[in-house]
């Protein structure tokens, strides 16, 4: 049994880097939800919206919600929240890079949206894996 607490005593939410992570993950979530809205609006245009677009956007929106919740948990001082945030942001960044680079897999507008999501997540990955943020959670 691990005797170390899952949270740190100081709450890192006031740290500028942690606040930036919150903004980035919030932007990722907002963009993902707006994309789902656009997909719904253009659902009858097969050139803009395919079954793959629906599935991909739904997965991205779900992961964006989890990413945002993990960022909030980490901001409250949860080491597990930080670990989950580090894992999901890295995995989704790699997944976005792979998906966007497959020619013809997604319409151009979705590839561009995914590129923006990837850039937001890349910034999160850099921040949460950086020495400064990690030091906030060390004992």
Distance CA 65, CA 25 (A): 8
The answer to the question of residue 6 being in a domain is: no
DSSP 129: T
Q: Which two structure tokens, joined as six digits, stand for 5?
A: 């607490």
Query: What pLDDT score does 5 carry?
Result: 47
Average confidence (pLDDT) per 10 residues, the chain, 139 residues: 50 83 98 97 95 95 97 93 96 96 94 97 96 85
Query: What pLDDT score does 9 carry?
Result: 45
Query: What pLDDT score does 16 carry?
Result: 87
Distance CA 3, CA 139 (A): 13
Range of the domain at 113: 16-136
Total Cβ atoms within 10 A of residue 4? 7
Q: What b/e readout covers 58-75, taking b as 16+ CB neighbours within 10 angstroms?
A: eebbebbebbbbbbbbbb
The answer to the question of residue 5 being in a domain is: no
The answer to the question of residue 11 being in a domain is: no
Phi, psi for 7 (deg, rounded to 5): -125, 160
pTM: 0.87
The answer to the question of residue 126 being in a domain is: yes
Query: What pLDDT score does 139 carry?
Result: 62
The answer to the question of residue 10 being in a domain is: no
Query: How many domains are contained in the chain?
Result: 1
Q: Which two structure tokens, joined as six digits, stand for 15?
A: 């740290």
Query: What pLDDT score does 10 carry?
Result: 55
- Residue that is written with structure tokens 């897999």 in the block: 105
The answer to the question of residue 2 being in a domain is: no
The answer to the question of residue 110 being in a domain is: yes
């Amino acid at each position: 049994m691990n005797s170390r607490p899952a949270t740190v005593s100081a709450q890192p939410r006031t740290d500028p880097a942690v606040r930036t992570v919150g903004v980035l993950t919030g932007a990722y979530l907002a963009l993902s939800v707006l994309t789902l809205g656009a997909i719904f609006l253009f659902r009858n245009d097969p050139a803009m919206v395919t079954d793959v677009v629906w599935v991909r956007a739904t997965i991205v929106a779900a992961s964006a919600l989890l990413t945002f919740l993990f960022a909030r948990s980490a901001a409250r001082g949860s080491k597990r929240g930080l670990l989950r945030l580090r894992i999901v942001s890295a995995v989704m960044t790699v997944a976005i890079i792979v998906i966007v680079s497959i020619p013809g897999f997604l319409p151009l507008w979705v590839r561009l949206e995914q590129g923006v999501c990837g850039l937001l997540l890349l910034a999160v990955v850099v921040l949460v894996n950086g020495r400064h943020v990690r030091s906030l959670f060390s004992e």
